Amino acid sequence: MNFNKNDENYIYEVISKNIKKYRKLKGWTQQELADKINYSLSFIRGIESSYLHTFSLGALWRISQVLEVDFNKLCEDNLASNIKSKSIVYKCAKCGTETKFPTQLIKNLKELNETSGNNNLPSFNCTNDNCDGRIFPLNTMDF
Ligand SMILES: [Zn+2]
């Protein structure tokens, strides 16, 4: 669904996408997020599918607190830029966990590394808390 910015549905769409994104970064299911803020699963489903328009500012605040993201990040408009900025998939060599990063972010990190003579692609610690592996880009052709 794509809403016009002049339509108030737009902000619900933005918030739903952001909550989903930050929830997934935490590795939580909708049920897990619901449990952490003491709301029902259907409440989280409603927000994330952007059809529920009756949640309070307080509920959003609690969500931002448990997700440990700045409140304003939940309202950050990435809808337009998501279309043009591609993401790159990283995969853990040890446990197989896949994580997506914005390609632009990785390119910036790579350029930063190169200024200090490191020409390797950036790699990170595994996003799975129970794993001590490293994650590497699945497809280096993305660069
Ligand atoms: Zn791993």
Residue by residue, pLDDT tens for the chain (143 residues) are 556 777 888 889 899 999 999 999 999 999 999 999 999 999 999 999 988 888 899 999 999 999 999 999 999 887 665 545 578 899 999 999 999 988 878 888 888 888 888 888 888 999 998 999 999 988 766 55
State in Å: Cα 103 to ligand 1 middle: 21
Q: How far is the CA of 68 from the centre of ligand 1 (A)?
A: 22
For residue 98, report the distance from its CA to the centre of ligand 1, in Å: 9
Residue 88, φ and ψ in degrees, nearest 5 = -120, 140
Give 129 Cα–ligand 1 centroid separation in angstroms: 8
pTM of the model: 0.55
Q: How far apart are CA 143 and CA 43, in angstroms?
A: 40
Place of tokens 């280096």: 140
Which one, of 102, 22, 119, 123, lies nearest residue 66 by Cα? 22
Q: Using an 8 Å Cβ cutoff, are 103 and 86 in contact? A: yes
Question: What's the Cα-to-Cα distance from 102 to each of 59, 84, 92, 129, 135, rounded to whole Å?
Answer: 28, 10, 17, 21, 15
Domains, the chain, with CATH or none: 9-80 (1.10.260.40), 85-142 (no CATH)
Ligand 1 centroid distance, CA of 8 (Å): 40
Rg over CA atoms, the chain: 17
Residue type, 126: C
